[in-house]
Structure 1
Amino acid sequence: MVNFSSYVGRVTATVLTLALLLAAIAAWRWGRAAAYAVLFAAFLSVINMLILGGRLIALPASTQRAAQRLGGAVLQRWIITILGLIFAIFWLHLPVVGLVAGFLLTHFVFLAFLVRERSRQRS
């Protein structure tokens, strides 16, 4: 559990640091709304990662129950993502380009950490 917590902390810190940097660039280039969109998408992705991580830690021993729990986590993540995007686009009026940039940033950071972790396990 300690390894998971430190891993999640490193990923979260990296995502949020890079999101702040990208938001500063977006604010400079396209305005404040684009910066808010990048930050909103990054926070939404981090929340989704934490939800799935929490579900993975608490998986039951039964394969059937574990599959159901993971399916529920994936469904929950999709619902949160879709509702978050609807909220961001239609109520906060955030630009879609900034939201996409924030999501791409966080997903590439997650992918880089996974690839790095996988290569460490193979060594």
Structure 2
Amino acid sequence: MVNFSSYVGRVTATVLTLALFLAAVTAWRWGRQEAYALLFAAFLSVINMLILGGRLIALPASTHLAARRLGGAVLQRWIITILGLILAIFWLHLPVIGLVAGFLLAHFVFLAFLMRERIRQRS
């Protein structure tokens, strides 16, 4: 079984490292606004991962309470994501393509970590 705190920490560190590298490349190739958008979305995804990781670590033994806690985490993540996107698009005027790239980066890194863990469990 995977220790969730170390797992979330490794995913978070990988996402942030790749986001900084890709933001530097993006700033050099396409401009600062796109790089800021990529970083903003990656940081927003990391915040969401940390929220869910924190909730998974502290799950109560009762299935009913655990379901409520996870439901609250999902609702909290959606609210943070929607408010963050509204902030990014309408107030900061960040380009949508950079935001999409940041979210895709975070989700593909998370998917890669899940696939790696699945392969480890089957071996």
TM-score normalised over the length of structure 2: 0.94
* Alpha-carbon distance in structure 1 between the residues aligned to 2:93 and 2:6: 35
The change in CA–CA distance for 1:64 and 1:3 in structure 2 (over 3 A counts) is: closer
Report how many aligned residue pairs link the two structures: 122
* Alpha-carbon distance in structure 2 between the residues aligned to 1:82 and 1:3: 29
Percentage identity across paired residues of the two chains: 89
Amino acid of the structure 1 residue aligned with 2:120: R
1:46 Cα deviation from its structure 2 partner: 0.4
Question: What is the aligned partner in structure 1 of residue 45 from structure 2?
Answer: 45
* Alpha-carbon distance in structure 1 between the residues aligned to 2:3 and 2:68: 25
Equivalent runs, 1:56-71 vs 2, <5 Å: 56-71=56-71
1:121 Cα deviation from its structure 2 partner: 1.1
Equivalent runs, 1:59-98 vs 2, <5 Å: 59-98=59-98
Task: Give the 3-state SS of the residue equivalent to 1:15 in structure 2.
Answer: helix
Amino acid of the structure 2 residue aligned with 1:55: R
Q: Which moved more, 1:19-28 or 1:85-94?
A: 19-28
Equivalent runs, 1:16-35 vs 2, <5 Å: 16-35=16-35
1:109 Cα deviation from its structure 2 partner: 0.1
Amino acid of the structure 1 residue aligned with 2:30: W
1:98 Cα deviation from its structure 2 partner: 0.2
* Alpha-carbon distance in structure 1 between the residues aligned to 2:93 and 2:11: 28
Contact preservation (8 Å) 2:23, 2:35: yes
Structure 1 residue ranges without an equivalent (≥5) = none
* Alpha-carbon distance in structure 2 between the residues aligned to 1:60 and 1:10: 24
Provide the aligned C-alpha RMSD in A.
Answer: 1.2
